[in-house]
C-alpha cells in the first residue's frame, strides 16, 4: 500500500510499510520475544509510586542526562562501568537510530550479516546510511573469512553484530567479535538485546569494552527485564562515544515518567529477572521437542527458537494462529520463530503445531 501521490513524502519512503509485527488479541502471544511474566503487585506499586513522584514535577523538563537511571544501569551491568559509560533511550531501537545518526549518514556505510534483525536496514534508510548485508553461514553463525573480506571491501563506518542474533538465536563467537573489531575502521555495535538469556559459558561483549574504545554494546529492558511496555534501551561504550551520541539525541528525549519507571524497575531486578533461568530451561526443552518432532532447529541463546523448514510457512503460521497461538513468520524462507512463554503457553503451542503439521 503506497503512500498517496499527493503526500510529498521522500521518494524512497513512498512504497515502504511501517514496522508491523501483528498485534492480535489471541490467548497465547509468542511472537515478539516478550517476557511472559509481568511484574508483581508490589513491584508495580513501587513503579507507580515513583511515577507519581515524577508526576508532581511534570511542569519541569526531565533530567536531560538521566543521571540517576544511568547510574543504576551501570551498577546493573558491572564490568567496571560507570554512569558516564552508559546512555539510555526509548528502547534500544532509538539507541540504534542515534548510533546511525552519529556514526552513519550520507556517504557512510553500515554493514551487518543476514538473516538478522529486520529493523537495522530501516534505520539506515532513515538516516541516509548506505546499507550492506553480508550473509551468515548455514548454521547462522558469522563466517569469519567472508565477514573480514566484506569489512575490507566496504570499509564500513558502522558494523552491527547481534548476539544472540534475532531471529536465529545464534551467539557470536568472541574470537570472531574480536577479529571483526580489530579489522573494522569505524565503530562496531554488538546488539545484546537477549544477553541475559545466553547459555552458560557464552560470554558477553561487555568484557571487550575496556580493550576496544570503538565498541558499543546495546542492551534493552524489553526482553529479560520484562519491561517492554516501559520502552527503555541503553548502550555501554567509552565515555567519548557516549558524548558523541549526546550530540544527536533530541533535547529531553527520555521523559521523566520513563526515567522514574525504569529506575524503579531496576530496584526490583531480582524479581523481574527471576524467571530468566526458567525461560532458558523451557527454551532448551522446546528446542529438544521440536527436534524430536523432526524439525530443523537453530541453536538458541535467546528466549525464542527458530524452527522449520516448511514449504508453506504462512499456512503453518495461520493454522497455529487459528488455534489461538500467535508465533512469528520471520527469518529465512521456510522458517518460523516461537518466543518462549509459560509452560502452559508452550503446551498450547506444541498442541497447535502438532495438529497443523500432522
Ligand atoms: C527486541 C530487540 C531489540 C529491543 O528493542 P527495544 O526497542 O529495546 O524494545 C533490539 N534488538 C534486537 C535484535 C531485538 O530483537
Q: What is the pLDDT, as a whole number, of residue 254? A: 98
191 lines ligand 1 (CB under 6 A): yes
Q: What is the pLDDT, as a whole number, of residue 39? A: 94
93 lines ligand 1 (CB under 6 A): yes
Q: Indicate which atom in ligand 1 lies nearest the CA of residue 93.
A: 7
Task: Please check the confidence at residue 117 and state whether its pLDDT lies above 80.
Answer: yes
> From CA 190, how far away is CA 97, in angstroms rounded?
14
193 lines ligand 1 (CB under 6 A): yes
The model's confidence at residue 53, banded by pLDDT at 50, 70 and 90, is very high
Q: What is the pLDDT, as a whole number, of residue 2? A: 86
166 lines ligand 1 (CB under 6 A): yes
Q: What percent of the chain has pLDDT over 90?
A: 96
The model's confidence at residue 156, banded by pLDDT at 50, 70 and 90, is very high
Residue 47, classified by CB atoms within 10 Å of its CB into exposed (0-12), middle (13-18) or buried (19+), is: buried
91 lines ligand 1 (CB under 6 A): yes
The arithmetic mean of pLDDT across residues 152-167, rounded, is 98
Residue 24: how many other CB atoms lie within 10 Å: 9
Q: What is the pLDDT, as a whole number, of residue 54? A: 97
pLDDT in tens, 205-234: 999 999 999 999 999 999 999 999 999 999
Beta strand pairing call for 296-297 and 215-220:
unpaired
Beta strand pairing call for 158-162 and 109-114:
parallel
73 lines ligand 1 (CB under 6 A): no
Q: What is the pLDDT, as a whole number, of residue 266? A: 97
Q: What is the pLDDT, as a whole number, of residue 45? A: 98
> From CA 92, how far away is CA 233, in angstroms rounded?
4
Q: What is the pLDDT, as a whole number, of residue 6? A: 96
Task: Please check the confidence at residue 1 and state whether its pLDDT lies above 80.
Answer: no
233 lines ligand 1 (CB under 6 A): yes
Burial call 105-136: b when 16+ CB within 10 Å, e when fewer: beebbbbbbbbbbeebbbbbbebebbbbbbeb
User: CB of 110 within 8 A of CB of 131?
Assistant: yes
Q: Which CATH code, of 3.90.1150.10, 2.60.40.1120, 3.40.640.10, 3.20.20.480, is assigned to 21-37+275-357?
A: 3.90.1150.10
Residue 253, classified by CB atoms within 10 Å of its CB into exposed (0-12), middle (13-18) or buried (19+), is: middle
The model's confidence at residue 19, banded by pLDDT at 50, 70 and 90, is confident
| Domain at 41-268: CATH code | 3.40.640.10
**What is the grid cell recorded at 66?**
538521566
> Average pLDDT, whole number, for the chain?
97
pTM of the model: 0.97
Distance from residue 19's CA to the centre of ligand 1 (Å): 13
35 lines ligand 1 (CB under 6 A): no
pLDDT in tens, 254-273: 999 999 999 999 999 999 99
- Taking the alpha carbons at both ends of the chain, their separation in whole angstroms is 36
Q: What is the pLDDT, as a whole number, of residue 358? A: 87
The model's confidence at residue 134, banded by pLDDT at 50, 70 and 90, is very high
Q: Indicate which atom in ligand 1 lies nearest the CA of residue 92.
A: 8
The model's confidence at residue 22, banded by pLDDT at 50, 70 and 90, is confident
Q: Indicate which atom in ligand 1 lies nearest the CA of residue 116.
A: 13
The model's confidence at residue 301, banded by pLDDT at 50, 70 and 90, is very high
**Residues carrying CATH 3.40.640.10, the chain:** 41-268
Q: Indicate which atom in ligand 1 lies nearest the CA of residue 33.
A: 1
Distance from residue 78's CA to the centre of ligand 1 (Å): 21
Distance from residue 193's CA to the centre of ligand 1 (Å): 5
User: CB of 167 within 8 A of CB of 331?
Assistant: yes
**What is the grid cell recorded at 163?**
548476539
pLDDT in tens, 308-355: 999 999 999 999 999 999 999 999 999 999 999 999 999 999 999 999
Which residue's CA lies nearest to atom 7 of ligand 1? 91
Q: Quick one: CA torsion of 109, 81, 243, 222, rounded to 10 degrees?
A: 60
**Residues carrying CATH 3.90.1150.10, the chain:** 21-37+275-357
> From CA 232, how far away is CA 254, in angstroms rounded?
9
Coil, strand, or helix at residue 229? Answer: helix
User: CB of 298 within 8 A of CB of 168?
Assistant: yes
Mutate to test the pocket of ligand 1, among 19, 220, 304 (most ligand atoms within 8 A of CB): 220
Pick the closest to residue 156 from 184, 115, 119 (CA basis). 184
Task: Give the CA angle between residues 148, 137, 312 to the nearest 5°.
Answer: 145
Coil, strand, or helix at residue 259? Answer: helix
Q: Give the DSSP H or E segment for 336.
A: strand 336-339
Which residue's CA lies nearest to atom 6 of ligand 1? 91
Amino acid at each position: 500500500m503506497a503512500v498517496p501521490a499527493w503526500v510529498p513524502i521522500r521518494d524512497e519512503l513512498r512504497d515502504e510499510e511501517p514496522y508491523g509485527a501483528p498485534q492480535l488479541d489471541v490467548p497465547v502471544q509468542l511472537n515478539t520475544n516478550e517476557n511472559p511474566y509481568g511484574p508483581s503487585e508490589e513491584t508495580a506499586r513501587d513503579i507507580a509510586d515513583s511515577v507519581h513522584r515524577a508526576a508532581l514535577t511534570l511542569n519541569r523538563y526531565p533530567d536531560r542526562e538521566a543521571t540517576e537511571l544511568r547510574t543504576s544501569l551501570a551498577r546493573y551491568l558491572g564490568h567496571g562501568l560507570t554512569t558516564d559509560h552508559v546512555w539510555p533511550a526509548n528502547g534500544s531501537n532509538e539507541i540504534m537510530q542515534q548510533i546511525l545518526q552519529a556514526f552513519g549518514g550520507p556517504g557512510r556505510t553500515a554493514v551487518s550479516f543476514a538473516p538478522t534483525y529486520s529493523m537495522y536496514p530501516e534505520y539506515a534508510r532513515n538516516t541516509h546510511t548506505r546499507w550492506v548485508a553480508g550473509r551468515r553461514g548455514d548454521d547462522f553463525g558469522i563466517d569469519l573469512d567472508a565477514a573480514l573480506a566484506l569489512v575490507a571491501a566496504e570499509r564500513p563506518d558502522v558494523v552491527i553484530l547481534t548476539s544472540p542474533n534475532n531471529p536465529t538465536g545464534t551467539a557470536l563467537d568472541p574470537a570472531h567479535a574480536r577479529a571483526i573489531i580489530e579489522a573494522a575502521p569505524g565503530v562496531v555495535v554488538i546488539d545484546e538485546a537477549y544477553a541475559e538469556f545466553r547459555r552458560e559459558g557464552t560470554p558477553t561483549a561487555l568484557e571487550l569494552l575496556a580493550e576496544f574504545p570503538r565498541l558499543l554494546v546495546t542492551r534493552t529492558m524489553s526482553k529479560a527485564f520484562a519491561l517492554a511496555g516501559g520502552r527503555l534501551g541503553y548502550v555501554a561504550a567509552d565515555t567519548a562515544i557516549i558524548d558523541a551520541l549526546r550530540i544527536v539525541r533530541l533535547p529531553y528525549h527520555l521523559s521523566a515518567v520513563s526515567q522514574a519507571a525504569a529506575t524503579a524497575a531496576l530496584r526490583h531486578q531480582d524479581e523481574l529477572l527471576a524467571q530468566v533461568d526458567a525461560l532458558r530451561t523451557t527454551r532448551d526443552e522446546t528446542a529438544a521437542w521440536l527436534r524430536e518432532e523432526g524439525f530443523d532447529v537453530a541453536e538458541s541463546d535467546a528466549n525464542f527458537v527458530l524452527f522449520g523448514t516448511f514449504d508453506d510457512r504462512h499456512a503453518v503460521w495461520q493454522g497455529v494462529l487459528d488455534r489461538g497461538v500467535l508465533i512469528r513468520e520471520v527469518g529465512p524462507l521456510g522458517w518460523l520463530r516461537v518466543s518462549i512463554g509459560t509452560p502452559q503457553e508452550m503446551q498450547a503451542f506444541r498442541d497447535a503445531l502438532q495438529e497443523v503439521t500432522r
